[in-house]
């Protein structure tokens, strides 16, 4: 499934992320994970970020998710500076859904309970949290696994639960860090289809890190990174 590239008119008003001269250094500048990155991401785009290990992909995703903050440069979300947010947790809870490579479900909670975890930071009452979790698990095809603990689920099922969890608070953006990296090819295919379908249906922006060129080819746009720089930023040809 390909998505249309935003038109030049919608560029400014639908801009979700605007990144300018973004740098991230560790160990007092000895390690430079990002060395001045510039791009914009728009509402509804599916952007794949590719590149070899250590090129800065995950660091960039962390910045977009306000999991960490840049050393310098501008990082705007809908025109607001992310490092300047008074409550980054609220941004992560309400605007962003994160899907991890290793699923990262909490082992002492059932599928249904894992999906409810992000909702604790919203005003949603308890019965609503539960019904929303059931609804989301149905959406990812796990209505028969609601009360199963992660240890009793297959890898593909765990990632489905993680996807449902990422959608818990109806985010505008999905950030996926190699979401199929721990899955066999058949499961990887289904999971990717699911993520793309759900993000398209709900008009979410999808930023996905991958090593797999076949996955990157399904994105509307591919950003390739190398040594903390963007080396290419290509729109996919529309079908």
Residue from 102, 147, 213, 217 touching another protein (CB under 8 A): that is 102
Residue from 16, 42, 82, 113 touching another protein (CB under 8 A): that is 113
Provide the β-strand partners of residue 116: none
Shortest Å, Cβ 233 to another protein: 23
Residue in the block written with tokens 């009360």: 147
What does the per-residue mask of binding to another protein show for 122-141, with x meaning CB under 8 A?
Answer: ----x--xx-----------
Residue from 32, 109, 172, 227 touching another protein (CB under 8 A): that is 109
Residue from 1, 10, 11, 106 touching another protein (CB under 8 A): that is 106
CA angle 141, 183, 16 (to 5 degrees): 70
Distance, in Å, from the CA atom of 153 to the CA atom of 161, rounded to the nearest integer, reads: 9
What does the per-residue mask of binding to another protein show for 145-184, with x meaning CB under 8 A?
Answer: --------------------xx-xx-------x-------
- Of 58 and 210, the one with the shorter C-beta distance to another protein is 58
For residue 130, count CB atoms less than 10 angstroms from its CB and return exposed for 0-12, middle for 13-18, buried for 19 or more: middle
The rounded Cα 48 to chain-centroid distance in angstroms is 10
The footprint of another protein on residues 22-81 (CB under 8 A) is 58, 61-62, 65, 67-68
Q: Could you tell me the CA-to-CA distances from 212 to 52, 189, 207, 219 in Å, in that order? A: 11, 12, 14, 12
- Of 99 and 230, the one with the shorter C-beta distance to another protein is 99
Applying CB under 8 A, which residues contact another protein? 58, 61-62, 65, 67-68, 87, 89-90, 92-94, 96, 98, 100, 102, 104, 106, 108-109, 112-113, 116-118, 120-121, 126, 129-130, 165-166, 168-169, 177
């Amino acid at each position: 499934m390909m998505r249309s590239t935003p038109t030049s008119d919608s560029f400014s008003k639908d801009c979700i992320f605007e990144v300018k001269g973004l740098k991230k250094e560790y160990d007092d500048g000895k390690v430079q994970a990002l060395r001045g990155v510039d791009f914009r991401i728009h509402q509804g785009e599916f952007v794949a970020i590719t590149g070899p290990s250590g090129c800065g992909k995950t660091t960039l995703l962390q910045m977009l998710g306000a999991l960490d903050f840049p050393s310098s440069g501008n990082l705007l979300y809908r025109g607001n500076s992310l490092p300047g947010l008074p409550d980054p947790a609220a941004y992560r809870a309400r605007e962003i859904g994160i899907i991890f490579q290793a699923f990262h479900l909490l082992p002492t909670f059932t599928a249904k309970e894992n999906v409810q975890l992000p909702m604790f930071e919203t005003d949603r009452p308890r019965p609503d949290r539960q019904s929303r979790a059931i609804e989301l698990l149905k959406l990812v095809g796990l209505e028969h696994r609601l009360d199963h603990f992660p240890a009793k689920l297959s890898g593909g099922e765990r990632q489905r639960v993680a996807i449902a969890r990422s959608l818990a608070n109806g985010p505008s953006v999905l950030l996926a860090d190699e979401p199929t990296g721990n899955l066999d090819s058949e499961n990887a295919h289904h999971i990717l289809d699911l993520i793309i379908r759900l993000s398209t249906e709900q008009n979410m922006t999808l930023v996905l890190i991958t090593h797999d060129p076949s996955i990157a080819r399904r994105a509307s746009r591919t950003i390739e990174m190398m040594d903390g720089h963007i080396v290419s930023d290509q729109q996919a040809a529309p079908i």
